[in-house]
Amino acid sequence: MKITEIKAFLGRCFEPVELIGAGDIEITGPAKIEEATAGQVSFVANEKYYRHIAGTGASLVVVSPKAPLDDAPAGTSFLKVADPYTAFVFILQHFAGTRRIAAPGFAATASIAASARLGRNVSVGEHAVIGESCVIGDDTVIGPNTVIMDGVSIGSECTIYPLVTIYDGTSIGDRVIIHSGAVIGADGFGFAPQKNGSYMKIPQMGTVEIGDDVEIGANTTIDRATMGATVIEKGAKIDNLVQIAHNCRIGGDTVIASQAGISGSVKIGRQCLIGGQAGFAGHLELADRTSVAAKAGISKSFLEPGLAIRGVPAQPMRDQLRQEAQVRGLGEMKSQLEALEKRLQELQKRLAG
């Protein structure tokens, strides 16, 4: 793809796109600005990285209109766009091609129940298992050795990677991506304590509902509801090794980083950002656009939209940072206390003298 073609391609989404330098060079793929060589395209979105422009070997760099190009190498062309980061994502997508997860059609070794209804152009990988009464939409790919239990519905254009488990009754929207090892719809962790100290299992009769455009990371677990449904709303992005317990509701376009743990019946709003290893007590609620710092421990609801919270137990960012500063200042405080004590002692001595 020539630089002029990339300019035209971006021009369909970004207005304006300005080309600085030669346009007739063939671009063969993307690379990081520090590592790019001739024929490659890179980008600089953050001004911290402007210093890499002078030394880059890239043939093309996507930058913002205000990027300083005075020291730019002679052989490098530039495309100036308002949002170079997203523009570069478009370029990545162009070069990404399609990953082959399963050969087209149904593998001969796949076990597909006779009552399952599969759409047009569905691929089912080797040894995959699709249970009774499942419904799978057009253009969806089911990876090898994945197991889909009875009565699951999956939309169209989904990618279910190898070795995923989807329990019975789960409902999944369109364009959903589920990575390997994820387990969707296992029993919620519910037990009734008995007088002798043992526990009786509470049947988990609910389901899981996953909206369109959700992505679920490797080895993440999303439990089914006791009754009703655990819900992941449209556009939510969930990283690896995350736990989402029974009866949770995760709002649309909310992002949850790796190893976060959401206890039962938690309701997280839309467009929230949940940091890695954050943990939630059960039955609480976060308003839309709440930002939770990594490792935070959330023990109560935060109902004001847009708050940033942090710490264990979590509190608003400003309070928590002040508290952390106070803890760091404890040594100084101790010195002040001792100095005060000494001065008081001298005073008392003088008065007694």
Which of the residues 213 through 272 are near a second copy (CB under 8 A)?
A: 213, 215, 217-219, 221, 223, 226-228, 235, 237, 239-241, 243, 245, 253, 255, 257-259, 261, 263, 270-271
CA distance 153 to 207: 11
Closest CB 19 distance from a second copy, rounded Å: 22
Residue 51 binding a second copy, by CB under 8 A: no
Active-site residue, selected from the candidate residues 52, 94, 246, 283: 246
CA distance 139 to 335: 69
CA distance 276 to 279: 9
Taking the least distance from each CB to a second copy, the nearer of 72 and 102 is 102
The interface with a second copy within residues 273-332 (CB under 8 A) comprises 276-277, 279, 281, 294-295, 297, 312-313, 322-324, 326-331
Of 49, 50, 106, 189, which one interacts with a second copy (CB under 8 A)?
189
Specify whether the CB–CB gap between 125 and 107 falls below 8 A. yes
Q: Give the burial string for 91-101 (b: 16+ CB within 10 Å, else e).
A: beebeeeeeeb
Closest CB 70 distance from a second copy, rounded Å: 27
Does residue 93 sit in helix, strand or coil? helix
Residue 31 binding a second copy, by CB under 8 A: yes
Cα–Cα separations (whole angstroms), residue 112 to 53, 80, 144, 156: 54, 51, 12, 18
Residue 192 binding a second copy, by CB under 8 A: yes
CA distance 175 to 155: 7
Closest CB 68 distance from a second copy, rounded Å: 23
Taking the least distance from each CB to a second copy, the nearer of 66 and 349 is 349
Radius of gyration of the chain (CA): 28
Residue 80 binding a second copy, by CB under 8 A: no
**Which residue in 152, 155, 151, 207 sits closest to 177, CA to CA?**
155
Of 25, 63, 72, 143, which one interacts with a second copy (CB under 8 A)?
143
Strands 199-201 and 191-193, how do they pair? antiparallel
Q: Which helix (H) or strand (E) element contains residue 84?
A: helix 84-96
CA distance 304 to 282: 19
Of 149, 210, 250, 287, which one interacts with a second copy (CB under 8 A)?
149
Residue 198 binding a second copy, by CB under 8 A: yes
Of 37, 92, 104, 300, which one interacts with a second copy (CB under 8 A)?
92
* 246 a catalytic residue: yes
**Count of residues engaged in binding a second copy, rule: CB under 8 A:** 110
Taking the least distance from each CB to a second copy, the nearer of 26 and 132 is 132
Catalytic site positions: 246
